[in-house]
Amino acid sequence: MTRAVYRFRNCTMSRDETAAPTYEATCVAGEDTDCGAVSGEHLDPTPVEKWIAEHTRDTTHTRYRRTFSDYTDVQPDQWL
């Protein structure tokens, strides 16, 4: 049996404001397999919500996985 040792140390994380965050939704309705339809990435949550409403209207699917992505810059308190 192997044992991994991880060393953690303090660091500061801040959002990279030069890279825009994105919003996306995937339809996960379905009994055996998920529908899988995706909204595509958007820079604003509004078009994703609109896509969800339209997809629900067209398919009666009512379960979605929503994702939000952004970038972070990490500054360790001190470099090794």
Closer to Zn ion by CB, 23 or 52: give it. 52
Closer to Zn ion by CB, 9 or 57: give it. 57
Dihedral sign for Cα atoms in the order 48, 49, 54, 58: positive
Say which residues have a Cβ less than 8 Å from residue 39's Cβ, sequence separation at least 6.
24, 25, 26, 47, 48, 51, 52, 55
Closer to Zn ion by CB, 15 or 50: give it. 50
61 binds Zn ion (CB under 5 A): yes
- Print the binding letters for residues 18-57 with Zn ion: x by CB under 5 A, - otherwise: ---------x-------x-x--------------------
- Using CB under 5 A, count the residues that bind Zn ion: 5
Helix (H, G, I), strand (E, B) or coil at 68: strand
Cβ atoms of residues 71 and 19 within 8 Å: yes
The contact set with Zn ion (CB under 5 A) reads 27, 35, 37, 59, 61
